[in-house]
Amino acid sequence: MTVGFLLATCCSDPGIIPPRRIVLLAGSREHLKQQLGYDLLGPAGLEPSHDQLIDAETMVPEHLRKQGYRWCKTCEIIRPPRAAHCKDCDHCVLRFDHHCPFVNNCVGQRNYHYFFAFTTSALFFAALVLPAFMRAFSGVSGDAPGWYGWIVTVGFVAVAAITVLLVVPLAVSLLALLAGEDHQGALAAAGFRQRAHFACASGAQADAT
């Protein structure tokens, strides 16, 4: 189960928003407009000036700016609220949470439930394995080979370290779900001023401009 959720997190689409060049090449502007409820590329007839300040004003209609829509200078599209550009994947992602280096994928709107299930199942798996290692460690006698004791010790330390590392993202994920925010928003709500660095959550900060 844990491996299945891991593969699902790695291989699933986190909610990538196609950049301007892909939308134009695919001819999907009108289709995306119907799906999203607004023109992803900005007002018809206008082209980006490649100046962030100018494009932020001219390419994003005022009524969308008031709702939290922002211009992405890299993808050259209007991204919806809580979407952000991932510097690792070089894509805008819907409800971007973070880029997880351990799954080599972003965590966003379409795969957040897989990521949460992965961290939860991995933590329960570790909780089951730790007692087994403890029993094996306590059962090591003086007659047992030296290598056996080393294997048990290293295995116990490794699983214990992974368990501790999994507790942090799982706790923040729970806080984010309860608060209706992403990891960054949940940490900010909890009073953290600095950017959090932890396993599976050391992704790129949301691009605020």
Task: Identify the bridge partners of residue 84 per DSSP, sorted by sequence position.
Answer: 93
Q: How many residues does the chain have?
A: 209
Nearest-CA neighbor of 199 among 126, 91, 150, 93? Answer: 126
Q: Are 42 and 78 spatial neighbours (Cβ–Cβ below 8 Å)? A: yes
How far is residue 65 CA from its own chain's centroid? Answer: 24
| The two three-digit tokens of residue 15, written as one number | 């909610």
Roughly how many angstroms between the first and final C-alpha of the chain, as a whole number? 39
72, 75, 89, 100: which one is catalytic? 100
| The two three-digit tokens of residue 198, written as one number | 């932890």
| The two three-digit tokens of residue 71, written as one number | 């211009």
* Catalytic (active site) residue 106: no
Which residues are known to be catalytic? 100
